Amino acid sequence: MTFYNNLNSAMDYLEQHLDGKLDYYVLARKAGVSLGTLQRIFPLFAGITLTDYIRRRRLTLAGKDLVQTDARVIDVAVKYGYESAVAFSRAFQKFHGIKPSMAKNNTVELKYYPKLIFSPPQLEPELDYEIIKLPAMQLFGCSILTDNQHIKRDAPQLYLEIERQYPDLPHPDYGMINYLATRDSLESYEYWVLWQEYHSGMKSYHVPASRWLKICIPSQEARDIQEMSDRFYEKFLPTCCYRLKPDPELEHYHDNVTDFLIPIY
């Protein structure tokens, strides 16, 4: 229950700052997780990205302001974080279907996207896991910049590029997601394909020693790994007693299974 209380507290904070500067790191602290984790889990609970949710809430309130007050379009645009009336008008029309200047017409209907309130899901079957310690590792591979909306497209493309560049390579030893919360696009992260041995042209990545929560997946199929990842973040994480570290998460491929490794304190 604490996780859902924290998530709702984060939504309360967000509502209070929709018309001002929103600090994403404070938002994540309110939710009790790192910013990277919040960006990862939010679509699982809300069905949309955090960025889209904020945009929809702001445009909902902007429409209300235009209908109920005498505020100018440019003033409403600035209030909700738009740098120009043109950008605001484009976003407003895409969301509401009309131009902001038409919002004061009492005969038009505007869209309303409600504030989200999160409730605990029904109990799921137990998830088998173990806590392990691993030493620091130096791994080698290739990466691509992607996000939650495009990972299912970008990851296979990366594998195809690697196959063309390194046709004789064995199956990779690891897959990795490295969150880049400090970038302008807060949902962006690096997806890596890694080997324990160096091959010409590959980049090096140092994985620090850590404690890991390990879930064994009896498959190396992307579909099965994604299903377990979604189940972990949506069902297990909200009720577990572990705090996630802001380190990369790993997929260790071996013996026709995948160890899903989540770094914890």
Whether residue 176 contacts residue 252, with contact meaning beta carbons closer than 8 Å, is answered with: no
Comma-separated ranges of CATH 1.10.10.60 domains in the chain: 2-102
pLDDT at residue number 185:
43
Q: Which regions in the chain score pLDDT beneath 70?
A: 1, 106-107, 121-126, 180-187
- The helix/strand/coil state of 195 is strand
pLDDT at residue number 182:
45
Comma-separated ranges of CATH 3.20.80.10 domains in the chain: 130-264
What is the secondary structure of 1-50 as a DSSP string?
Answer: -HHHHHHHHHHHHHHHTTTS---HHHHHHHHTS-HHHHHHHHHHHHSS-H
Helix/strand/coil percent split, the chain, to 5: 40, 20, 40
Whether residue 18 contacts residue 61, with contact meaning beta carbons closer than 8 Å, is answered with: yes
What's the token pair of residue 94?
């895409």
Residue 219's H or E segment, with its range, is none
pLDDT, one tens digit per residue, over 180-193 is 654 334 567 889 99
- Side-chain half-sphere CA neighbours of 243 within 13 A: 8
pLDDT at residue number 165:
87
User: In angstroms, rounded to a whole number, what is the distance separating the alpha carbons of residues 245 and 181?
Assistant: 13
User: What angle in degrees, to the nearest 10, is found between the helix axes of 2-16 and 24-31?
Assistant: 150
User: In angstroms, rounded to a whole number, what is the distance separating the alpha carbons of residues 245 and 212?
Assistant: 9
User: In angstroms, rounded to a whole number, what is the distance separating the alpha carbons of residues 58 and 92?
Assistant: 10
- Give the predicted TM-score (pTM) of the model: 0.67
User: In angstroms, rounded to a whole number, what is the distance separating the alpha carbons of residues 24 and 39?
Assistant: 10
Topology given in CATH for the domain delimited by 130-264? Multidrug-efflux Transporter 1 Regulator Bmrr; Chain A (3.20.80)
pLDDT, one tens digit per residue, over 119-160 is 876 555 567 889 999 999 999 999 999 887 788 888 888 988
* CATH class name, domain 2-102: mainly alpha
User: In angstroms, rounded to a whole number, what is the distance separating the alpha carbons of residues 171 and 142?
Assistant: 13
Whether residue 88 contacts residue 100, with contact meaning beta carbons closer than 8 Å, is answered with: yes
